[in-house]
Structure 1
Amino acid sequence: MIAVYGKGGMGKSFFTTNLVSKLALLGNRVLQLGCDPKHDSCNALFGGVSLPTLGDVWRTYKAEGREDALQVEHVVFKTAIMDGAATVYGCEIGGPEVGRGCGGRGITFGFDLLEKFGLSQWALDYVVMDFLGDVVCGGFATPLSRSLAEEVIILCGNDRQSLYAANNIASAAKYFASMGGRTRLVGLVVNRDDGSGVAARFAERINLPVLASIPLDRKIREMADACKLALVDDDFNAIFDRLAQGIIDRSLPPVAMDQVQPLEYDEFLSVFGAEEPDVTPAGASSAELFGGQPDPTPVVCVVPAAEAPVLLDAPTGRVVARLLQELGLYVTEANHDPKKGMTLTIDGHTTICFGDERELDSKMAILAALQKSGESYRYVDLRRPASPLYR
């Protein structure tokens, strides 16, 4: 079993789907196991079809008092890929209903149910698990804590957020290995590589190999959004072919878990040429928090100017109108930053950096997809629609 971990939004499903497909095209029997409550890992594998999740199917059978009638074919599915060149299998574990439970516990329950169906005895060459990178949660750390995964690939970019998640994942893997776990890290895969080399510096510091670098490519992103495989592109096919061959013939660089060195915070910042200030933040007193007068310590105050009607320029006005009409998003503040361009605040708490009006349809589509996903976010950067960022 191989677990693919990484920060949300880094393209784990894209990577997992193409790796699974390439392994199958090379003659292997492969199952893709979606282990994220948003259950969209297998969408591209099945040509855009959203699979019924194990959790939803089980709840339906339970509500009808028919749990014993639940069979593996109700939750594990198969499809042909690349014009019938290979068959792959897929399953989405899913999770609890929105707002009604713990996603991590749902993952743990899903693995327990699959084991009852005989997962560990199935005649498969590979099970590739697409996992949320929140290994602080015990459920999402299941492949590490229970040694369900033999190998872990960490997907990251060159940005601080995804590498911070990668550092946490490496730390969790090293911890469980020190406790006798059998799961080992294989290395990093850099997705949407912009050529800056930051992830490579991080990999060298943490003592993990970079297994592959997948370049930033708008055409491929659009194919992924349309639930199509990137393997139809010769360059991307070659990348996944090299990686899959390395997995199959065990020729990837060996990693000794005791040599993996997750970074402390100050070490991590140094990868980006930054350092933590030697400052202890001032504590907020109870009197301040309850509305009393703060202690007489020097502070920098920003005094807001008197409110005045905000006059929007034509491009901003068009964007504001579309956000309201198409997505129901109400803009409460609009600014124009010399570097970031058009910056909008939605409902007083979410910041969206639009840049300019170029590729506006693509930017609106990204926001619509975020809305549909149900993920929470406070900041979205759409200046480069081919590689949007959100957190």
Structure 2
Amino acid sequence: MSKKIKQIAIYGKGGIGKSTTTSNISAALSQQGYKVMQFGCDPKADSTNTLRDGTYIPTVLDTLREKSQVKPEDVIFKGFNGIYCVEAGGPAPGVGCAGRGIITAVQLLKQLKVYDELDIDVVIYDVLGDVVCGGFAVPIREGIAEHVFTVSSADFMAVYAANNLFKGIQKYSNSGGALLGGLIANSINAPYAKDIVDDFVARTKTRVVEYVPRSVTVTQSELQGKTSVEAAPTSEQAKIYAKLATKVIETTESKVPSPLTTSELREWAAQWADHLLAMETGEVRSQAAAI
């Protein structure tokens, strides 16, 4: 009987630092002794490049277009510390559904039985979270991932994307879909940013898994084509990613979040806008006091 593989999905809007966070989690888990596969689900196919010195790998969809018969070694490549890297890819520009790559890649790896063959402990799906539709919802909708995490900053559009993800999780929760492990707060440097995220998770009945500050270490590492865990292993940033990785892998209980309606989210955002203005100007506004 094959062992149980822990499958985790990490969502977040484009540009929020989702792939950076995911790759550093993968790198840290590999150093903790886990056999890790990182499964990039963005059509840009750039999830795993910092695990491979900045190089890109052939995607599942591109390979299927070129070959009638696909072998595991055609689409699975080793990266830092033995991490297995896969990129689902997407359709040719202007053609087809971007989420289709995830569906196709998941089906292919199941057919090839690679999880058992490679004796993998954990698979981490790095998924674009701007839209939770079609293929992008596969890890949630079909319960492929046991635990879902979302990366968000205190910026409104990042919070908006996280709230949309919560709606998707809530929708599929009654039919065996994956549940929410929590929110990874990224680029949290200003005190008010932490307060905004804390308030959002309190209102949506979830939790912050870890606060990750914005750091020049990340920029320096990525310019080298590496994760901070690999390029700067003794840095404070690497230590934070190691702590985050431990919390993610040790998560055993996930929950159904309580997303805000669009009008509730806008009202919440307007209150915070007033509050920040009052902080900056020293002017007390009636709505700010309600926070």
* TM > 0.5 fold call: yes
Cα deviation for residue 58 of structure 1 reads 1.2
Summarize deviations over 1:40-99 as a string: whole Å, max 9, x none.
0010000111111111111111xxxxx13x2011100113x3xxxx32110111011111
Q: How far, CA to CA, are the matches of 2:30 and 2:255 in structure 1?
A: 28
Match in the other structure for 2:3 = none
CA spacing shift, 1:230–1:271, aligned 2, 3 Å:
farther
- Give the corresponding residue for 1:46: 52
Q: Which runs of 5+ in 2 are unaligned?
A: 1-6, 273-291
Q: Which has the higher contact order (CA 8 A, sep 6+)?
A: 2
Aligned equivalent of 2:201: 203
8 A Cα contact 1:32 1:127, kept in partner: yes
Matching residue of 2:139: 143
Whether the 8 Å CA contact 1:3–1:149 is kept in 2: the answer is yes
Contact 2:217–2:237 (Cα < 8 Å) also in 1: no
Report the Cα distance in structure 1 between the residues aligned to 2:42 and 2:250, rounded to whole angstroms.
29
Residue of structure 2 in register with 1:112 after alignment: 107
Partners of 1:176 and 1:169 lie apart in 2 by 11
In structure 2, how many angstroms separate the alpha carbons of the residues matched to 1:204 and 1:4? 20
Map 1:7-18 to 2 at 5 A. Answer: 7-18=13-24
Question: Is 1:271 aligned with 2:268?
Answer: yes
Give the 3 Å change call, closer, same or farther, for CA 238–273 of structure 1 in structure 2.
same
Q: Which has the higher strand share?
A: 1
Q: 1:168 to 1:74 in 2, by over 3 A?
A: same
1:234-260: CA deviations, max 9, x gaps?
211221222222234447xx4432xx2
CA distance in structure 2 between the partners assigned to 1:201 and 1:119 by the alignment: 42
Q: If the length of structure 2 is used for normalisation, what is the TM-score?
A: 0.84
The amino acid across from 2:111 in the alignment is K
1:156 maps to what in 2? 152
Corresponding position of 2:77: 77
Q: Output the CA distance in 2 between the equivalents of 1:216 and 1:15.
A: 11
Partner of 2:235: 234
Distance in 2, matches of 1:230 and 1:14, equals 9
Aligned match for 1:216, one of 214, 218, 221: 214
Q: Matches of 1:136 and 1:194 in 2, distance apart?
A: 28
Quote the Cα distance in structure 1 between the aligned partners of 2:30 and 2:217: 24
Deviations 1:175-200 (A, max 9, x none): 1112332x111000011113222122
Q: Which of 154, 167, 171 is matched with 1:171 structurally?
A: 167
- Given the alignment of the two structures, is residue 55 of structure 1 paired with residue 61 of structure 2, yes or no? yes
Q: 1:250 to 1:179 in 2, by over 3 A?
A: closer
CA contact (8 A) 1:135 1:172 kept: no
Distance in 2 (CA, whole Å) between partners of 1:105 and 1:139 is: 5
Q: Which amino acid aligns with 2:75?
A: V
Q: Which amino acid aligns with 1:223?
A: S
Separation in 2 of the partners of 1:156 and 1:12? Answer: 8
Question: How well do the aligned residues superpose, as a CA RMSD in angstroms?
Answer: 1.8
* Pairwise CA distance, 1:119: 4.3
In the other structure, the counterpart of 1:245 is: 246
Amino acid at match of 1:42: T
Q: Partners in 2 of 1:134 and 1:192 — Cα distance?
A: 18
Letter in 2 for 1:224: E
Aligned equivalents of 1:116, 1:90: Cα separation in 2: 17
For 2:84 and 2:77, locate their aligned partners in 1 and report how far apart those are by CA, in whole Å.
6
CA contact (8 A) 2:147 2:254 kept: no
Deviation, 1:120, is 5.0
Matches of 2:100 and 2:14, distance apart in 1: 18
**CA contact 2:72–2:114 (8 Å) conserved in 1:** no
Bigger radius of gyration among the two: 1
1:209 and 1:228 map into 2 onto residues whose CA distance is 29
1:90 aligns to 2:96 (yes or no): no
Which range is displaced more, 265-274 or 149-158?
265-274
Structure 1: gaps (5+ residues):
62-66, 276-391
Aligned residues of 1:93 and 1:110 also touching (Cα < 8 A): yes
Q: Which amino acid aligns with 2:109?
A: L
CA contact (8 A) 2:150 2:182 kept: yes
Matches for 1:303-314 after TM superposition, within 5 Å = none
Q: Distance in 1 between matches of 2:262 and 2:251?
A: 33
The residue identity in structure 2 corresponding to 1:2 is I
Cα contact 1:208–1:255 (8 A) shared by 2: no
TM-score (norm 1): 0.63
The letter of the residue matching 1:235 is E
1:172-187 pair list within 5 angstroms: 172-181=168-177, 183-187=178-182
SS in 2 for 1:103: coil
Deviation at 1:160, TM superposition (A): 0.4
- Cα distance per residue 1:176-232 (max 9 Å; x no partner): 112332x11100001111322212211111111101111112342232243221122
